[in-house]
Amino acid sequence: MFFIYSLLTHIARFVLNIIALFSPKIKLFVQGRKNVFTTLAQQINPQDKTIWFHAASLGEYEQGLPIMEKVRALYPNHKIVLTFFSPSGYEVRKNTRAADVTVYLPLDTLANAKKFMHLVHPDMAFFIKYEFWPNYLNELKKANVPTYLVSGLFRPNQAFFKWYGGFYREAFKAFSHFFVQYDNSKQLLNKIGFTNVTVSGDTRYDRVSEILERDNNLPFIEEFINGNVTVVLGSSWPKDENLMFDFINSAVNVKFIIAPHTLGEDHINDINKNIHRQTVLFTEKDGKNLAEYDVIIINTIGILGKIYSYADVAYVGGGFGTAGLHNILEPAAFGVPVIIGPNHNKFPEAVALVQMGGVIAVNDKAEMEDALSSLIYNDDYRWEKGHIAGTFVSMNRGAVNTIINYITNEHPTV
């Protein structure tokens, strides 16, 4: 089976090199991996002690960050090596201070896994949420490296739990311990013979709760809002925005902050073209009286978390497409009621918050406008929904302490 898997991986590499000629994102995926081993050789010495964290993309990085920060404090003599699979994670966080070395993860061939392990020689390894690469896991197991899954999330329809999933089940033996989000994930692992499982919860609750304690002041946002009810569209896609343009254009005494998921010039121009109110771009705000504007488009990255602290209502994008719902816990942590699209059933926090009433799921434009109107113009209703959201986040904290307590008991020093 390893032969077939390795053959498919080499075929995938060949195909990706062709697709890279036509796709900027795949080009980053391919080009970014060309110098990984050179970078590792330059930045990690044979005598260095290291701890390896792997995140598929940006969301998994955010989940792993509080663990990374705690591990750095506990083991200050170790270098933290962070790998990403996706360009959307690496390109945004390649300069993060949370790690000493940040690179793409080379494709999961046996040769790559062996070379990576030789250069990094980790004392511990952490995989965030998912991404199970058999060759890397097999090399970790052969080297007896303590390996942990953090914020794991499993579903019955995944290959690991099917009759044909033995190949991946074998790879799972590399994990010293699984820290999963929910009991149903633990039960699934138990059914295939893995009892080294703890239901720790989702580290994102700890992560977003930490944001509350940071300085979230953005004076330009305060000037823009000028005391008005404010709606934030966070990580929005065109499908999300198209449902909201008419409402934005007709709303009275309401300010709108739009932070699109993609910041391409064509996308920003399209948003601008469809909004018929006073609109300003973040990059053009200096020198303007922002209080005179109704809409500000955030055509930059890195400040959406702080912007949510100013929201009265948040719409979080991704729920009308197939790419996946974006992070609803950031606005929820601030006690902000959240609106999302219908495609959210793979996100347990969204399902739970919809059931509890802290999040409103809408299916079309009419439902979107009804939800916005109810939240904007009914203060008590808005406060009630926001209170549910904020309480939900607060009550689900604690995953980081559970994981770190286990790690420190197992590895007082490494």
Residue 321 sits at the vertex; the CA angle it makes with 317 and 96, to the nearest 5 degrees, is 50
Q: Which residues contact 56 (CB under 8 A, 6 or more apart)?
A: 84, 85, 86, 89, 128, 129, 130, 131
Residue 263 tokens read as 């910041």
Sign of CA dihedral 73, 78, 83, 88: positive
Residue 111 tokens read as 């040769």
Q: Out of 60, 62, 131, 330, pick the active-site residue.
A: 60
Q: Which has the closest alpha carbon to 102: 87, 114, 113?
A: 87
Coil, strand or helix: which one is 379? helix
Beta strands, E only, 153-298: 177-180, 197-199, 229-236, 254-260, 279-281, 295-297
Chain-centroid distance of CA 27 in Å reads 22
Element (H, E) at 41: helix 36-43
Taken as a whole, the chain contains a residue count of: 414
Q: Tell me whether residue 60 is one of the annotated catalytic residues.
A: yes
Catalytic residues: 60
